[in-house]
A and B are shown apart, each in its own frame.
Chain A
Amino acid sequence: MLAVAGALYWALPPSEVERTSSSNADEANLLSALMEVSSDGFQGPSPSWKLDLPKDHGHHTNSRTESWHVATHLRNEDGKELGFQFSFLRLGIISGDAPPPTSIWDVREINRGHVAILNTFVEHAFGEERFGRGTRGLAGYDPSAQELRLDNWFLRFDSDESGSYMTLYATVLDKAVVDLVMRPEKPTLALTPDDAGAPFVGYSMTRLAVEGTIDQGLGEETVTGSAWFDHVWGELPLPGMRPVASDRLQLQLGDGTDLSVIRTRRIDGAGAPVLSGFVVSPDGTASLLDGESLQMTSSRTWRDPVTGAEYPVEWRLLGPNLDITIAPLADAQAFDTAVPVWSGMVQSSGRRADTVVSGVGTLQLTGYSAP
């Protein structure tokens, strides 16, 4: 377990859709409005919260916001790299502690799902975004099926004689069908509050083995790879609606180490960014990184031709026993959506603890705009 929920939180789902140049102001305003109508009655996590799986895979309806996020790094049988991300946000309108609804039209929560796929062969990312209203069997978490669902997308939590596993199924704009099974390779990392409590809690599975298929219109391709899964709930900071933004990096290194770093900064450019993060050893032992001894500096930017936003897509991460360079598998992994975001696959190379390491990862950049 790691007593640092605040330091660990991985990105909420960006609102990714097919690349367009349309304005996203209305959608951003919608999100703000939804947050405003969210009623009182929600509870923050208890400082004494302890992870309880599989129960905690499900929703926590007395929390105002909740997020599930899967990032995968896959290869087909030809060795071609593919990336797939799945994000699901539950935005509570009425706390689950309230009396049961008297009508099926009572809206208790809003769901926002997003999937995105990167085919490095064509260096093009595309995605799809959906909204739901918490109708059991159609949108939201269904305890009886132990699955998170948004129409035909689902993330199901299950177990067999080999242990627990997750099944993830999604279609992407009728252009792709993704069907993956993911099994954890490390102990689950509980993001527990410290003595002072935390606005949110949750857990991470920093390395899962993935098997499955992806069909991009040319027939099913068998894929294998790794995934990183986060599930957090409580008072989650929603990106894009605040005066601060974050650059979030998750790396799975070839030596079996997993690394999470968050670089938070003021959007107005004032002040200095602060870093926080953690490292998970091959045996699953987690430890905090000293944010004040880390440096994360951009070495190359890429301008989004649609929005004009200048995204720092290449980075160097320096710290005690750490010198890693991060580069994107493709530059064009930006999404002009409610929260404009660059969210995509990266690869890394460098040294950790005096050993040469390479790895794969996910980088999410928010809060960048046209200069």
Chain B
Amino acid sequence: MTRMSTLFSLIVVAVLAFAGAVWQVSWREAPNTAIDADQYRSPTGPVPAAPQRDGARDAGRHALLNAPYVSCGIPYGAYLRLNPQTEPDALVTGREGRNAELPFALTSHVNEDGVEIVSNNCLTCHADRINGELILGLGNAFGDFTQDPSRLVLQAGNYVQGKAETKAWQHWADRIDSIAPYVQTKTVGVNPAPNLTWALMAHLDPETLAWSQIPLIDPPPVDPLPISVPPWWGMSKKNAMFYTTVGRGDHARFMLLASMLCIDGTKEVAEIDSYAADIRAYIVSLEAPEFPFAIDTGLAAEGEGIFVRECSACHGSYGEEETFPNRVYPVDEVGTDAAYASDATDGSRDRFFDWVARSPYGDIHSTAPAPGYIAPPLDGVWATAPYLHNGSVPSMAALLFSDLRPKYWRHQTDPRRYDPDILGWEHEALNLGQGAEKDPEARRQIYDTTLRGYGNAGHTYSDALNDQARAALLEYLKTL
């Protein structure tokens, strides 16, 4: 895992989360009047189900772990120079050939020129460890997207040899260099995937998927809004993808956007689409991990009653008779940081929704965010800290009682340890935010909730409970 951290920090990859981002003045554009904004919006409230393609679960797992759906990356020779050893705990079963030797988040394939390429796969953002166990589908809460990914491009370029490798490297380098300005988050642990996707769309013709080094439409703003990667196992209950339910229609097709980093033409999309439904079938088959520590069953039983009374209406019910409302709640009602939802629905992203509608990735019904956030299913919620859509609240204990939410905080990472008492990773509250920290390395570790999009307000419903009730509720959440 340690060697992977370098790549985590510098390679930009698969996109399975969507959101908006902050406009900067230099990129602000006049509204595109040719786009009908209404067709790219959904109301808050219930999210209707859409037909999904059937797929083969096992074939999907195999494709997820072995197929080259991200088709450009570092030539293997250069990769080996930079990462000569793979830590045993970075391996995962079910991989073949070279992939069996690579960290789980990397996939190898040989390109048309005979060059072996190592590229990131979906697990870069969608797998992580808790208590020593690798959990596929768990959002990576420690990925570092604060660094300029062009650094890795140049570092790898130092070890590229020969024309064929150079050509392969240039393909990858062109893509990374083009999106580099749009994917650097303020804080380690949050994810810039939406902006990454928008930035790629700006360079791709939506109909031919031909790459243009010069943007064809205005790129997104430079600063990405932070996203906490949601767990994959929630996909089995959700009728739409992502926090604002922007991903509608055929989910497998929408997921193809995750492979867009290197795409060059529609044929490649069709090839990946041939097994996309299988990957989705695998994803929706995933079950939440069980809480690996002791649970006070009596206290949890007490908490279940509180949950049914206070939480189920939005988050559903659990146990033998499970329900899930699939409802989006307006930003004003839930009160959590509004930037992600408002940027998705204020018209500033419509050119990208229109791009999807014109592309093989979707149609006019595919991208339709609502001005709010879906109340997510809570299966395995104990594992998904930090909480809220932007990862601004470090523990469930703090989510349940807003007085405990630190304004500035950072994860303890040396080593990182899961704290089963608070349902979160060990962290420390800080007195000062990023603006007061001069050391850039220390600064990027700070989660500063005063930054735009990083706010930790809202969802204060359980503040009204007493300490005993909150303790019982927290204990019950361990059982989901």
Taking Cβ atoms with an 8 Å cutoff, the residues of A that contact B are 6, 32, 35-36, 43-44, 47, 195-197, 199, 235, 237, 241-244, 264-266, 268, 270-272, 274, 276, 288, 290-293
Contact = CB atoms under 8 A, between A and B. Distances in A.
Given A196-B5, A266-B177, A274-B150, 12 more contacts: A43-B84, A44-B81, A44-B84, A237-B158, A241-B161, A243-B169, A271-B173, A272-B150, A272-B180, A274-B151, A290-B440, A291-B148
Contacts of B81: 44, 199, 235
B159 A242 contact: yes
B477 interface: no
B454 to A, nearest CB: 19
Given A243-B166, A288-B441, A292-B440, A197 B3 contact: yes
A197 B440 contact: no
A272 B151 CA distance: 10
B161 A244 contact: no
A241 B161 CA distance: 7
Interface residues of B, number: 31
Given A199-B82, A235-B81, A272-B177, A243 B3 contact: no
A270 B173 contact: yes
Contacts of B213: 270
Contacts of A196: 2-6
Given A195-B5, A197-B3, A292-B440, A274 B84 contact: no
Interface string B223-264: 000000000000000000000000000000000000000000
B32 interface: no
Interface of B is mostly: helix
Contact of A266 (B4, B154, B155, B440): B154
Contact of A270 (B148, B155, B177): B177
Contact of A242 (B3, B153, B157): B157
A7 to B, nearest CB: 9
Contacts of A195: 2, 5
Contacts of B82: 199, 235
Given A44-B84, A199-B82, A243 B170 contact: yes
A244 B150 CA distance: 12
Contacts of B84: 43-44, 197, 235
Contacts of B161: 32, 35-36, 241-242
Contacts of B3: 196-197
A13 B347 CA distance: 55
B202 interface: no
B85 A44 contact: yes
B181 to A, nearest CB: 8
9 contacts: A43-B84, A196-B6, A235-B159, A244-B157, A244-B158, A264-B155, A264-B158, A271-B177, A272-B177
A137 B190 CA distance: 57
A195 B440 CA distance: 18
A270 B174 contact: yes
Closest 7 CB pairs of A and B: A237-B158, A271-B177, A244-B157, A44-B84, A196-B6, A290-B440, A235-B81
A268 B170 CA distance: 9
Nearest to B81: A235
Contact of A274 (B154, B158, B174, B441): B154
A266 B159 CA distance: 13
A237 B159 CA distance: 6
A227 to B, nearest CB: 26
Interface in B66-118: 81-85
Contacts of A274: 148, 150-151, 154
Contacts of B157: 242-244, 266
Nearest to A239: B158
Interface string B130-173: 00000000000000000010110111011111000010011001
Contacts of A44: 81, 84-85
Contacts of A35: 161
Contacts of A244: 154, 157-158
A271 B153 contact: yes
Contacts of B155: 6, 264
A267 to B, nearest CB: 9
Given A196-B3, A271-B173, A293 B160 contact: no
B429 to A, nearest CB: 25
A197 B2 contact: yes
A271 B170 CA distance: 10
A319 to B, nearest CB: 11
A274 B157 CA distance: 13
A294 B151 CA distance: 14
A275 B180 CA distance: 15
A47 B160 contact: no
Contacts of A265: 154
Nearest to A43: B84
Nearest to A235: B81
Contacts of B441: 288
A266 B173 contact: yes
A266 B151 CA distance: 11
